[in-house]
Amino acid sequence: MGLRSFLQYLIQSPILFLYQLIQWALDKVLSPTPPPPQAELKRPKIAVIGAGLTGVSAASHIVGHGFDCRIFEAGPKDNLGGIWSRVNNTSGLQIHSLMYRFHPSVQWKKGYPDRKQIVSQITDLWHRYGLEDKTTFNTRIEKVYKDPHGRWILNDPSLGRFDGIIAAVGTCGDAKMPTLPGQEHFKGEIWHSSQLDGKSAKGKTVAIIGGGASAVEALEFVAQSEAAHSYVLARSEKWIIPRNPLINGLLAMNVLGSETIFSWIPENILRLFFYRDLYDISPPRNSGKGLFTETPMVNDDVLDLVRSGKASWLRGDILGYDTSGRGINFNKRSQGVPKNGPGTEKLIEADIVIMATGYKRPTLNFLPSEVFADPYAPPNWYLQVFPPDYPELCCNNCTYVNAIGTVGNYHIGIYTRFLLMYLVDPLARPRTAWMKRWIDMTRFIKSKAPGGAFEFFTYSELIYWFVFTIAINPFRWKWALFVLCGIGKDLPLKVVENEDRVRNGMGMSNVWDDVKGGEARWIGGKSNGE
């Protein structure tokens, strides 16, 4: 950029300029340096399952800190970017990209990037950290197990042996396309909300089934393509909150991560100043659907579309397609009336039906069966992602149920570095009993949380978990800066090396050996090979 265009940019878009400057500084301070081509990376070697933004970001942190990894992706190379590689071009972030910094080197050009910009940031990251040579596509992981030395094998030994695993399979798999009663009668078209590219609803009446973020996106799509009228048919209520990073950030700052006696304050403020005349479509008071119970949708336009008369948002039950083929029979319920409760039946005439009914959850069934045993089944795991029997397994972003926060943010790096710390430092590694104690303690603290302790969390609660579990164990203190910010790993590594020398000198086995009964592993820069 020449000086002239630089000055023009600065004057015309000062906020965007400041945003770029902040991102540049974050990159300089926090991004690990990409390894040079052909660099010899050290053990521990980590298998990363999934090449969405979580897998790519985790892998780039691993190699950036000098350790080895391999990504296994079920789909072909076109699937790089995970779910974002498979949705509409019109899809984009609902939350501000400030909260979607899945790697410190990500450079957003605007506040709310679209699908293409997100995929291009993931692809650039993949290239920048030389992950082309470390990714195996068309390889679905179906089982993981340990060899006699305690190293992990994925599917079969031909894929290698690993010291740890990051499962990054996401929460949005194949599109869910339920068949509704009487579907064979419908004369119009039926689309899934993720398959709208190249389609137009101009002049048509559209019924959108579902009341989640995809329904909101589909409504925006049909409004832009000048549909005659759109109906959102939602069988349950979810909160919609304004697209404002300050408000979103403030809500994410509830460190308790659940409803509190003060939750009525933001809820009533939203009803009064955001929903206003449409407060009827907000979740009813005392219904158990507080703001801190389910992931809210972040959107400014939907309520305006309803106010303008271009769209209707109806709460109720889908009874099925009408035998006339003209649309859907719908039982419209009033606020507070439960699913399948009494209501008013009406025919919603439609030319097009969009199924905004979500995605199937990818399975974690490839993990050892004991990680699913109650009462420590996912998401009731240590820090929500480490099964208590296996601190070397990190299921990053795939045990997630609901949150006020975001999937694509700094925690991806933090979780990856927790795993690295556990693998290289036997004294910092949590024991199964302590992991269970932490889960029990969090359950106790959140015993009043509707739905359970780990089904909903806020971003500040996540940060509290991280800081707490570092502070509680003095052997982790030396790692604090590295785990939380990704800087300063040399000092703790040196300490670990010396601690290990002392243990060996005293003829003691290290904690890792005690726990696993296996051979000694990677110690401060030495590799014991495959």
Ligand X SMILES: NC(=O)c1ccc[n+]([C@@H]2O[C@H](COP(=O)([O-])OP(=O)(O)OC[C@H]3O[C@@H](n4cnc5c(N)ncnc54)[C@H](OP(=O)(O)O)[C@@H]3O)[C@@H](O)[C@H]2O)c1
Residues of this chain that bind ligand FAD (CB under 6 A)? 49-55, 72-75, 79, 82-84, 87, 91, 93-95, 100, 140-141, 168-172, 362, 366, 397, 406-408
In angstroms, what is the minimal distance from the CB of 67 to ligand X? 30
Least Å from the CB of residue 282 to ligand X: 15
Question: Which residue in the set 52, 283, 327, 358 belongs to the binding site for ligand X (CB under 6 A)?
Answer: 358
Shortest Å distance, C-beta 511 to ligand X: 38
Determine whether 227 is exposed, middle or buried from the number of CB atoms within 10 Å of its CB (0-12, 13-18, 19+).
buried
What residues from 403 to 442 belong to the interface with ligand X (CB under 6 A)?
A: none
- CA distances to 147, 457, 500, 525 from 162, rounded to whole Å, are 10, 31, 22, 16
Q: Which of 359, 456, 512, 522 binds ligand X (CB under 6 A)?
A: 359
Residue whose CB is less far from ligand FAD, 251 or 428: 251
Residue 366 interacts with, from ligand X, ligand FAD, none (CB under 5-8 Å by kind) = ligand FAD
Sign of CA dihedral 275, 277, 279, 281: negative
Per CB under 6 A, the list member of 234, 306, 385, 421 interacting with ligand X is 234
Q: Environment class of residue 391 by beta-carbon count within 10 Å: exposed (0-12), middle (13-18) or buried (19+)?
A: buried
303, 244 contact by CB (below 8 A):
no
Provide the b/e sequence for 337-370 (b: ≥16 CB within 10 Å): beeeeebeeeebebbbbbbbbbbeebebebbeee
397 binds ligand X (CB under 6 A): no
Question: x/- contact string, 298-327, with ligand X (CB under 6 A)?
Answer: --------------------x---------
Assign 3-class secondary structure to 467-507.
Answer: HHHHHCCHHHHCCHHHHHHCCCCHHHHHHHHHHHHHHHHCC
| The entry of ligand X, ligand FAD, none that residue 299 binds, CB within 5 to 8 Å by partner kind | none
Please give the full DSSP string across 357-398, using - where no structure is assigned: --BPPPP-TTS-GGGG-TTS-TTSSBTTTB-TT-TTEEETTS
Which region among 15-23, 52-60, 234-242, 360-368 touches ligand X (by CB under 6 A)?
A: 234-242
CB of 143 to ligand FAD, least distance (A): 10
Q: Which partner in ligand FAD, ligand X, none is near 492 (CB below 5 to 8 A by kind)? A: none
Q: Which of 226, 258, 237, 180 is nearest to 442 (CA)?
A: 258
Closest CA relative to residue 215, chosen from 306, 289, 279, 290 = 306
Considering the complex, what minimum distance in angstroms separates the CB of residue 201 from ligand FAD?
18
Count of residues making up the chain: 530
Q: ∠ at Cα 356 (112, 450), nearest 5°?
A: 85
Q: Cβ–Cβ contacts within 10 Å for residue 529, how many?
A: 5
Q: Which of residues 148-177 bind ligand X (CB under 6 A)?
A: 172
Residue 116 interacting entry, from ligand X, ligand FAD, none, C-beta within 5 to 8 Å by type: none
Query: Among residues 51 and 385, whose Cβ is nearest to ligand FAD?
Result: 51
> In the bound complex, what is the minimum distance in angstroms from residue 438's beta carbon to ligand X?
26
Reference 398, options 386, 390, 388; nearest CA is: 386
Three-state SS sequence of 95-114: CCHHHCCCCCCCCCCCCCCE
Distance CA 35, CA 66 (A): 7
Q: Is 356 in the site for ligand X (CB under 6 A)?
A: yes
Q: Shortest distance, CB of residue 164 to ligand X, whole angstroms? A: 27
- Selection from ligand X, ligand FAD, none that 60 binds (CB < 5 to 8 A by kind) is none
Q: Which of 200, 236, 335, 473 binds ligand X (CB under 6 A)?
A: 236
Q: Does the bond joining 245 to the residue before it have cis omega, within 30 degrees of 0?
A: no
Distance CA 29, CA 267 (A): 38
Q: Which is nearer to ligand FAD, 419 or 496 (CB)?
A: 419
Indicate the SS3 state at residue 205: strand
Binding of ligand X by 459 (CB under 6 A):
no
235 binds, among ligand X, ligand FAD, none (CB under 5 to 8 A by kind): ligand X
Binding letters toward ligand X, positions 193-222, x by CB under 6 A: ----------------xxxxxxx-x-----
Residue from 23, 79, 88, 94 touching ligand X (CB under 6 A): that is 94
Q: Does 357 bind ligand X (CB under 6 A)?
A: yes
Picked from ligand FAD, ligand X, none, the partner binding residue 84 (CB below 5 to 8 A depending on kind) is ligand FAD
Q: How far is the CB of 390 from ligand FAD (least distance, A)?
A: 17
Number of Cβ within 10 Å of residue 190's Cβ equals 17
Q: Which does 73 bind (CB under 5 to 8 A by kind): ligand X, ligand FAD, none?
A: ligand FAD
Q: In what order do the strands lie in the sheet with 189-192?
A: 189-192, 352-355, 205-209, 229-234, 311-321, 327-332, 344-349
Contacted entry of ligand FAD, ligand X, none for residue 343, CB cut-off 5 to 8 Å set by kind: none
Q: What is the binding site for ligand X (CB under 6 A)?
A: 91, 93-94, 172, 178, 209-215, 217, 234-236, 295, 318, 356-359
